[in-house]
Structure 1
């Protein structure tokens, strides 16, 4: 599928910055970066366009793109909670944490309104989870304990070292039977005064950040530091955690495989992640076709 827009849309001017989500957007289904996409990103940089990777992934899961970066070495991770320099070994250069008291309030609320929920706690140096949390990429240094303990001020790692210097980037909440969108609405209704709620998984898995922390707000901060205005940014995404970023950017594309809410919120659509939709738009930009 080729990139599409409203019939009357004129070719876009070159942006100063491209902001792209990873999973379901830039990456193939096997989590690889296609040769076409690597070439398109390099061509964008050669044309003077900066590239930011903007993802829900933690910094430690950025190896999927760090091997392919050229000048584009900045990643906004954990839905805006961390800014990472991929050229410096994935070093976190900015943190926007979820305060412990707010995280505890969210846990208390969700346990009450959604019995059966389980939690994981993503800190700046790793993830820790409850026994009932679904198995995934297990970190050998992870602690397994109730969320209340994982969030306590007294919690320590396996060597007895305190976690006080490891801010909470986000809280993850999983429910085995809830509809994903209904679970998100339920959480927002019950605890919106404590945190920012979103989702990017096809399952009932919520990603919970500090108040005001999102892909969009951190991207806006990073762009302001560089003197880049929203109208000079093109963004790509596929899931609800991309909605605010897509609304903030001057030009936004939803992937063909995007969540229905994302497709409805964007004027411009491109091919799916399997069809190198991001690369197709970049190619069009550089040849005056998009």
Structure 2
């Protein structure tokens, strides 16, 4: 049940969208990382109504098992903040990638080591994640290499290593927003830098790579325009997507900058805010 103090979604006095794009953590998923029965039913109803649903997340493909059975017809998801398009029907098979060049990643590492001493790094590749000794270990990822970022990013010959999807940068003392602002000042002309974590953990992608830019490419392939898209999100890595979509909703638990960027607002993820809007869209499309 929606609490009395929770924001209600704005009325959907628009034509029925052709595509729904939703973030996962803090948005579609509840805090315990489950998909509620109400949300499962809403996603299925959208599919039945002919509305495509795209999961658009910072998660790597290997962490998509929680939602893979709910992607329905097309099977596609946008992962790693737009760096990868994967087929969840084929076990997360990588279909397209927009990698971060290793030399650029090394530049970002050098700049952040200089401007924010104490930063520690992880490198997320198409084949898995690897991290520095002081970086918190990824218990979901076995077989990770542990070494300095410079060694992790080294190639014996250019192009011989696995594609890099994201560089992760963690600082244990700076506030999340301060670290993001510092990193963008230091290296924002070299790469796309954002964050989705409540901690000071930054995600670094290739310049111009974002949820929004990859979603726009996927929509263009389908002949879908921005004004035919409804998007949902809660953190700074969703801002470009919410600004691009014709209709967008910040979750009740969203970051203030996300609320400012979205055209509407729904209730929190734990109150099934995405499902609530989908139900409203379908009700008003009849």
Range into which the TM-score falls when normalised by the shorter chain: over 0.9
Confirm or deny: 8 A CA contact 1:256 1:270 kept in the other structure: yes
Distance 2:97 2:45 in 1: 30
Deviates more, 1:260-269 or 1:75-84: 260-269
- Residue 178 of structure 1, aligned match among 174, 179, 192: 174
Offset at 1:191? Answer: 0.8
Distance 2:195 2:224 in 1: 28
Q: Which residue of 1 aligns with 2:200?
A: 204
Distance 2:143 2:59 in 1: 18
Matched, 1:216 2:212: yes
1:202-232: CA deviations, max 9, x gaps? Answer: 0000000000000000000000011000000
Distance 2:12 2:91 in 1: 41
- Residue 273 of structure 2, aligned match among 272, 277, 282: 277
Distance 1:86 1:123 in 2: 18
Point out where structure 2 has 5 or more consecutive residues left out of the alignment.
none
Deviation beyond 6 Å, 4+ runs, structure 1 = none
Task: Report matched runs for 1:77-88 at 5 Å.
Answer: 77-88=79-90
Q: TM-score, normalised by structure 2?
A: 0.95
Q: Secondary structure at the match of 2:103?
A: helix
Deviates more, 1:72-81 or 1:46-55: 72-81
Confirm or deny: 8 A CA contact 1:126 1:139 kept in the other structure: yes
Offset at 1:266? Answer: 1.9
- Residue 255 of structure 1, aligned match among 246, 251, 254: 251
Q: Which residue of 2 aligns with 1:152?
A: 154
Q: Secondary structure at the match of 1:53?
A: strand
Confirm or deny: 8 A CA contact 2:43 2:70 kept in the other structure: no
Task: Report matched runs for 1:98-247 at 5 Å.
Answer: 98-154=100-156, 164-247=160-243
Confirm or deny: 8 A CA contact 2:192 2:206 kept in the other structure: yes
Distance 1:26 1:111, change over 3 A: same
